[in-house]
Amino acid sequence: MKKILILCTGNSCRSQIAHGFLKTYLADLVEVYSAGVETHGVNPKAIELMKEEEIDLSNHTSNHLDEYKAIEFDYIITVCDHAKEKCPLFIGKGERLHYNFPDPAKAKGSEDEVLEEFRKVREMIKQYCLDFAADKFA
């Protein structure tokens, strides 16, 4: 079974969303892990908006990259530039992929505007995950 690590700064939003989608899309083919170069806790808005996709992140935890040093990953996906810069510190031979998604946690405005930004980023990550699944596991 292939192992995928999704890495971002705080393992709070973007990596958690990608984790949820890839685990759903590739359930029987992969083990999915997500981590951050820091840990910020899982963002409640990420949990809330993934429920709209019928994906439950409520039991997810924010994990630090160091927790997974002993695992040999087949794919390491960085979802922000900060994590990509830190990624060379991670020991592993897996194929490295990168896409710098905007950080929805930094969205400003009314509650509706912030949620709309979360949805926009969620949809970007969803499409990325669909494309990844089709490219690597078709």
- Please report, for the domain that includes residue 42, its CATH number: 3.40.50.2300
Q: Which residues contact 121 (CB under 8 A, 6 or more apart)?
A: 13, 14, 17, 101, 102, 103, 104
What CA–CA distance (Å, rounded) separates 79 from 77? 6
Choosing from 87, 105, 121, 125, which is the catalytic residue?
87
Instruction: Provide the domain count of the chain.
Output: 1
Mean pLDDT of the chain: 93
**Domain coverage including residue 123:** 2-137
Q: Grade residue 87 by pLDDT with cuts at 50, 70 and 90.
A: low
Model pLDDT, residue 81: 82
Res. 90 pLDDT band, cuts 50 70 90: low
Task: Clarify whether 13 is annotated catalytic.
Answer: no
Whole-number pLDDT of residue 84: 73
Catalytic-role residue among 8, 30, 105, 129: 8
Q: In the predicted model, what is the mean pLDDT of residues 43-64?
A: 97
Among residues 42, 46, 77, 80, the one annotated as catalytic is 80
pLDDT value of position 82 = 75
Alpha-carbon gap, residue 44 to 57, rounded angstroms: 9
Does the active-site annotation cover 129?
no
